[in-house]
Amino acid sequence: MRTLCFILLILITVQVNAQDSTGTEPAWFLKFAVRNNLPNARVLMSEITDHLIESDEDSYSMETASVSYFFSDAWGLDFSYQMFITKDYYVKHDAFYDVLENRFGSDFFVSLTADSRRDIKTGTGRSGRVLAGLMYRKRFGNLLLLPRMLIGTTFFHTNTGSAFLKEKDANNLYAISYSADKTSQGFVTLAPTFTLGYQLFKRVVIGLDAQYSYCNINFGYEEELNTLSSSQTNVLRKIPYSQQLHTISLGAGVIFTFD
């Protein structure tokens, strides 16, 4: 968040100090786009905790709000919010239970805790990107070239999961839990973006998008076992997630222009 505030302060300073142009191009763009994300590597590690992370390689990004202000015919400032659309988290909830059952079911009765059922959320909107930066505009008749150099944050939620383990043919009761170092992860992201637009109507531009993004993912989970009869807790293992993630995103969108 501090990184984003610093970026916005720089952009506001650029805007205040820029000399306004009296050109004929529209001053404001409002853009909506959908892209398919093609990462070079997996964030998920084929671990049980994968099902607690609100991030998925097989995802789309929806540019739900991109606002650009041009302080000259050629140069402008851009602010973009991109929401990731991933798998239904009911599926992740069920998969988390299935992995526990496969691992412990031969010796224990497995039941998710009430906290776990609540924490494994459903739906989208808690993973995405917030980006800001400079945009350049070049017109060739009805064609528009719109490169952007953006920097910001990629974020996603990391849920907590836990279950009770009741030993079969015995009275021993345990609680196993998986918790991340923090519940909301955010990583500095560079995202140069290029849009090839076509002026369809006076106030409407349709475009093809290509975006390259880079961020260094680094966080971790702990697997803990609590013996309820003695309240003794042991950390069984740490599960690190570390990956330099390069992603190509391809898609299309529509831009509405305003003076």
Q: How far apart are CA 161 and CA 117, in angstroms?
A: 8
Q: Which of 16-20, 107-111, 113-117 has the highest mean pLDDT?
A: 107-111
> Closest Cα to residue 47, out of 104, 99, 93?
99
pLDDT digits (tens, 9 = 90+) for 120-173: 554 445 788 899 999 999 999 999 999 999 999 998 888 888 999 999 988 889
pLDDT, tens only, 188-240: 999 999 999 999 999 999 999 999 999 998 999 999 999 988 888 898 899 99
Q: CB-side exposure of 158: number of CA atoms within 13 Å?
A: 24
* pLDDT tens track for 48-95: 898 888 876 566 677 778 999 999 999 999 999 988 876 555 567 778
Whether residue 14 has pLDDT greater than 50: no
pTM across the whole model: 0.77
Q: pLDDT class for 23, splitting at 50, 70, 90?
A: low
Mark 56-76 as b/e (b = at least 16 C-beta within 10 Å): beebbbbbeebebebbebeeb
* Rounded CA separation 207/194 (Å): 10
Instruction: Give, as one character, the DSSP assignment of residue 21.
Output: P
Q: Residue 89: what pLDDT?
A: 55
Domains of the chain: 2-14+26-258 (2.40.160.20)
- Give the pLDDT band of residue 46 (cuts 50, 70, 90): confident
Q: Band of the pLDDT at 117, cuts 50, 70, 90?
A: low
* Amino acid in the structure at residue 91: V
CA-wise closest residue to 84 among 42, 38, 128: 128
pLDDT at residue 6 is higher than 70: no
